Amino acid sequence: MSLDRRAQVLEAIASNPSGVRELLDTLGWRASNIVSLLKAMNEERLVELQQAKHSRRGRPKKIIMCTPLGFEFLQTFKTLKMKPIRARKEDLEHAVKDALYARRLADYGHSSFKLFMELNTIVHNIKVSSQVTETVRR
């Protein structure tokens, strides 16, 4: 299930822990979707399922509560939603070109990380030598 759906569930229960039926009414999803998502979110420790105290017969009601990790997830999700990625067509074309170049390097048996570190060392040496040259001129 998507991150958006997880955020919707957390938003619905953040201020008011509720049961599955209340979530069904609030979100308007199919019961099977909510139940499978709640199981996944419980395993991810985003929500906690607690049995409600009741005196009625039948299956005890489970209250879905947001965990501290769930609150953090929701806060981060909201923050990232406010910062959409902005890219121009040229930026995407350059990214594709760079990815294809990295794939070719890997196909020829070169480590892109080692090449990056080598290039970084070269740039560092150029910077140091230019600083030494400026110091000598003064």
Pairing of strands 47-51, 62-66: antiparallel
Q: Residue ranges of the domains in the chain? A: 3-81, 89-137
CB 38 within 8 A of CB 47: yes
CB 62 within 8 A of CB 20: yes
Q: How large is the average pLDDT for residues 111-123?
A: 90
- Using the predicted structure, report yes or no on whether residue 47 has a pLDDT greater than 60: yes
Q: How confident is the model at residue 61 (pLDDT cuts 50, 70, 90)?
A: confident
pLDDT digits (tens, 9 = 90+) for 26-35: 889 998 899 9
Q: How many CB atoms lie within 10 A of CB 59?
A: 7
CA neighbor of 71 nearest in space, from 10, 135, 114, 116? 10
Q: How confident is the model at residue 71 (pLDDT cuts 50, 70, 90)?
A: very high
CA distance 12 to 113: 44
CA neighbor of 45 nearest in space, from 61, 29, 66? 66
Total-model pTM: 0.57
CATH fold of 3-81 reads Arc Repressor Mutant, subunit A (1.10.10)
Token digits for 89?
């067509």
Dihedral sign computed on CA atoms, order 14, 20, 26, 29: positive
**11 versus 83: which is more confidently predicted?**
11
